[in-house]
Structure 1
Amino acid sequence: MLSGCGGGGGSSETGVEASAGEGSVQFEIAAEEATLTLVDDGSTMPALAADAVAQPLFHLAPVVLDEPDLDDALDNTASGRRAPHAQRVPAGLAGLSSERLTLQDIESGRMQIASASTAEDGTASALATGTVAKTYTPAQIRAAYGLPALPVAGASLTAAQAAQLGAGQTIYIVDAMHNPNAAAELAAFNKTFGLPGCSSQLLPVGTGLPLAAAPKDNCVLSIAYTTTSGALTNTAPAYNAGWATEIALDVQWAHAIAPLARIVLIEAPDPSVNSLTNAVRLANQMGPGVVSMSFGLAEASWTTQLDSAFAGTGMSYLAATGDSGAAVSWPSVSSRVLAVGGTSLSYTGTGSRSEVAWTKTGGGISAFVATPTYQSSALPGVGSLTRRGVADVAFNADPMTGQYVAVIKPGATTQSWVSAGGTSISAPQWAGLIAAANAMRVLAGKPVVGSAHATLYGQIAAVPGTYAAAFADINAGSNGSCTICTARTGYDVPTGLGTPNVSGLLGTLSGASISTPPVVSSAGVSGKAGSALSFSVIVSAANPVTYALGGAPAGMTISSTGVISWAKPVAGSFTVTVTAKDSKTGLSGQGSYVITITSAALPPVIKASAMTGVAGRALAGTITVSDPGGYAMSISISGVPAGMTFSLRGQTITATWARPVTGKYTLNITVTDAIGLSTKLALPITINAK
């Protein structure tokens, strides 16, 4: 906008005329267009990790199983008293790799191969000459590992019985892609094996977070679709047969272990580390619970930079260790995640189970993650770790000693049955155990387990009698030929502390004194470039803590009292991770601070050169103004000679004097921006005689 006032003239849209001596003009220049940049919550993705892709970690025996009998539908403990189903793998399929094998793959491979027959006693028939897959029902797994027997359908449960089944707790299953039949598969699984049924629902855009408390008397399967940034969306991801199989076994076996827990299936739109990590962050927003992750990829230098995703309040995180033998994968390598390895199970329906390390279970010593405090206990095998050891615990994972999973192909109306394994089936079962322990603790007025490492290593494994009651120490089998690849007494990397003796484990976990990690609040902080910045970290902890900074810019420090200081901030946006470590328990918590430093506010700039002319000859000159901050400006010019006019184009003012008069004049220019900063310039004008 251009406006003017003065003793000698009128004004127009493009120019203004003012009289000499007392004349003046004023201009208003609008602010330049500004761009608003939204800063995230501290979850900045390392560049090397953003495009990395994870894989589901399941295995299937290469055979489509016979339809299970309906004994468990009538008595949900019936099959627990007999040996697992045994079925020969057709010779033509025996060469198929079990890794990420799908029902579609098996059916394609067997198109011209007749299915093998099976004897009624569950053993392979005399005609069988190939490999035999043994497959366990939920009742057999519960019997083998000592879980409480399932109640009779329709029976009224006490609060204690319901708690043992995970009542009131939430298990988050984080996977990628879409399984359109997850609810129908779970319904078929439940009906066949006499498990409590589940209602199902979609969590649409606009669902309030955190979620309402989980019900205590029934199971609900909630399904959430996410965007790459971890926001809820109403659009389902694309179908993928491999990930759909993973989803099926995760949901069904988490439910088999904790059949009254709420299950929230979170489907990321793709299997990138970015999308999966943000799906975990969504689980954190949904409220306390147990997160099961049956995916992985090789660890890398960025591994620890994503640990903030595994720091939710009241959350437990579990992940499969991998299915390709001795190796270390993310996310199980994180010191905040309970890494679940695998075994090969043998159980006949009576007596005790026996297990050896599964040959393909993941596990090893991390190349990037330091030895966590909890892995320095006196338990044999633990104290010798040079860095983070993976696994922490184990469960049945061999697909040839696999577990029933119902699979419904897109467009099909009935389910097929497969024998599933992989450490991906181990992780959701351990998630179910933690959910049951949480329910029992809540009933007793205690806090949830949260990060289970310190309790499992320090309060259970470090006490010989307690360890023997809570765990079966796996000391046979291996996942490779390396020195540390063999299962042995105490801790080992293929199977960790061992597999659960569930009755003893839940009894100990439900009464254990749980140490809670420090809680570091995340926040946004702003400052000015060049002006010293100082603020205090907000931490809640039971004991004194020590502090560390991650991702801090040069010159930023944190004191022993949690005060962050930066003597000379530079402009930009910085995400800094603050880690607070409990000095007594060794547990740590993290929070992210998004620090935005703006450039120091500078006053407007005026650029103009002295004007010299000859009387009676037209004179013109330019005055250019700008504001470093891009703010709107108000321009005032006084001392305007009579007959001088001004026009404005952008941020340039053109002064025109058609008939200058001999003399010396001064234009007093004042520019003030929207935040009150101003600049003045005295512009001399000299008009010489002809």
Structure 2
Amino acid sequence: MNSRILAAVVGVITSVVIVPTAQASPAGQAFCAEPAPGYARCLIRSSSAPSLRANAVGGLSATDLAAAYNLPPNGGADTLVAISIAYDAPNLEADLNTYRREFGLPECTTANGCFRKVNQNGDPAPLPRADFNWAVESTLDVSMVSAACPACRILVVEGNSPSFPDLAATEDTAVRLGAKVVSNSYGARENGLALSYAKHYERTDATIVVASGDSGFTAASFPAVFPSVIAVGGTTLTKDESTPRGWAESTWQYGGSGCSAYIAKPAWQKDKSCSKRTTSDVSAAADNIAIHSTEIGGWITTAGTSASAPFIAGLYGRNGGTSTAGSLYRHAGDLFDITTGANDRDGTGAKCGYDYLCTAKPGYDAPTGLGTPNGPAAFK
């Protein structure tokens, strides 16, 4: 692995520090450390087989994801999909278009009006300071929106920090600037302070999509726990020619699921083991995802519900955005039901007594929600 690849992360109140080494980071290593109170962390990890490559071969490509999820080749409206994120990613536009060229997607640039990057106030300058880890996160986000909706326009709103108020400001700005879908690939343990920001994620004019977390079955994650958002879990997706679909899919071991300690059970959620809001609602591939990152030095395989969430956001973009989790639950028949795997510490399901809260089952389960996309029909 190139010596610039992340091997360890050390958290501080507003940022994370890279400790470079010549060794690859271990499979499942988090890029962002656990946050201080009042802050969120990015939800990206090294993949199950981390390595730096000269090309994208070896990880799941945009082409793979479109094939696995039965996406029409030319679908998608000219919807504005926003990324809510912390810090600046200075190479983001270049890395996005390296990714898009690799997989035959049209350019998405500032010049052609497809790409726009602003600060949390909505201005093109000054942008926040750059941060290595969050920059890789941003690259993953825009790449996955592109894979799901090549025709969508992309707005990236960069917060001054990953503090709750700064991230809330990016959410407000994204919607104010016309985003019909906003993707959020960050999280923190739910608590009273976090829940006080609920109004920023409660929208009737945009679909809010949030990564469910990448620490497996644990306390519910903010802001994924809000019933006003689509909480997205993760799967491991691999080619399998022995199946009619041509793909095998199971629970990603690190994908987040949880039972809220605070949020009332929404009327559209009927699971029995959790009396309050359960996450997740839906899921998609979250491991072995190929992206191009200048910060890291080339093509890298990454993981996280920070991959699955922007992919699902792109699918909402295909249908024009402005939908709800309640609507999704009426379209369960348009999804692949994921029935294998668990997201507890050892991947067996023992931590939750083999219950659906951490173990994939037929029908709804917390790690994968209602299932994964089988075409874009469920996301409208």
Whether these two folds match at TM > 0.5 is yes
**Residue of structure 2 in register with 1:473 after alignment:** 337
CA distance in 2, matches of 1:172, 1:270: 17
- Displacement after TM superposition at 1:349 (Å): 6.7
Which sections of structure 2, spanning at least 5 residues, go unmatched?
A: 1-34, 345-350
Asked if the contact 2:88–2:130 (Cα under 8 Å) also holds between the matched residues in 1, the reply is yes
CA distance in 1, matches of 2:122, 2:89: 19
Letter matched to residue 212 of structure 2: T
Letter matched to residue 409 of structure 1: E
- Displacement after TM superposition at 1:305 (Å): 2.5
Deviations 1:288-311 (A, max 9, x none): 410000000111023432221123
Of 179, 185, 203, the match for 1:312: 203
Of 53, 64, 68, the match for 2:51: 64
CA distance in 2, matches of 1:193, 1:346: 18
Letter matched to residue 494 of structure 1: P
CA distance in 2, matches of 1:199, 1:460: 34
CA distance in 2, matches of 1:509, 1:278: 26
- Displacement after TM superposition at 1:420 (Å): 1.3
Of 336, 352, 355, the match for 1:482: 352
* Closer/same/farther in 2, CA of residues 197 and 364 from structure 1, 3 Å limit: same
Of 422, 428, 440, the match for 2:310: 428
Asked if the contact 1:176–1:270 (Cα under 8 Å) also holds between the matched residues in 2, the reply is yes
CA distance in 2, matches of 1:269, 1:58: 19
Asked if the contact 1:50–1:274 (Cα under 8 Å) also holds between the matched residues in 2, the reply is no
**Residue of structure 2 in register with 1:590 after alignment:** none
* Closer/same/farther in 2, CA of residues 56 and 50 from structure 1, 3 Å limit: closer
Deviations 1:276-330 (A, max 9, x none): 0111011121124100000001110234322211233420001111111112110
Pair 1:406 & 2:292 matched:
yes
Pair 1:455 & 2:327 matched:
yes
Letter matched to residue 82 of structure 2: Y
Of 89, 96, 104, the match for 1:179: 89
Asked if the contact 2:50–2:302 (Cα under 8 Å) also holds between the matched residues in 1, the reply is no
CA distance in 2, matches of 1:422, 1:197: 25
> Could you tell me the percent identity over the aligned residues?
33
Which residues in structure 2 correspond to 1:172-571 (within 5 Å)?
172-200=82-110, 220-226=114-120, 230=121, 232=123, 234-327=125-218, 328-348=220-240, 351-352=244-245, 353-376=247-270, 382-398=271-287, 402-409=288-295, 416-438=298-320, 449-457=321-329, 459-461=330-332, 467=333, 470-480=334-344, 481-483=351-353, 484-502=357-375, 505-506=376-377, 509=379
Pair 1:52 & 2:38 matched:
yes
Report how many aligned residue pairs link the two structures.
Answer: 333
Which sections of structure 1, spanning at least 5 residues, go unmatched?
A: 1-48, 70-84, 87-134, 150-160, 202-217, 377-381, 439-448, 462-466, 511-690
Letter matched to residue 282 of structure 1: T
CA distance in 2, matches of 1:247, 1:343: 20
* Closer/same/farther in 2, CA of residues 197 and 233 from structure 1, 3 Å limit: closer
Asked if the contact 2:225–2:277 (Cα under 8 Å) also holds between the matched residues in 1, the reply is yes
Asked if the contact 2:44–2:306 (Cα under 8 Å) also holds between the matched residues in 1, the reply is yes
- Secondary structure, aligned partner of 2:261: coil
- Secondary structure, aligned partner of 1:178: coil
- Secondary structure, aligned partner of 2:237: strand
Deviations 1:188-228 (A, max 9, x none): 11222211111216xxxxxxxxxxxxxxxx761100012xx
Asked if the contact 2:38–2:193 (Cα under 8 Å) also holds between the matched residues in 1, the reply is no
Deviations 1:26-60 (A, max 9, x none): xxxxxxxxxxxxxxxxxxxxxxx996111100112
Q: Max radius of gyration: which structure?
A: 1
Q: Which has the higher strand share?
A: 1
* Closer/same/farther in 2, CA of residues 435 and 408 from structure 1, 3 Å limit: same
- Secondary structure, aligned partner of 1:198: coil
Q: CA RMSD in A?
A: 2.2
Asked if the contact 1:51–1:273 (Cα under 8 Å) also holds between the matched residues in 2, the reply is no
CA distance in 2, matches of 1:477, 1:492: 11
- Secondary structure, aligned partner of 1:188: helix
Asked if the contact 2:315–2:379 (Cα under 8 Å) also holds between the matched residues in 1, the reply is no
* Closer/same/farther in 2, CA of residues 349 and 282 from structure 1, 3 Å limit: farther
- Secondary structure, aligned partner of 1:374: coil
Letter matched to residue 300 of structure 2: V
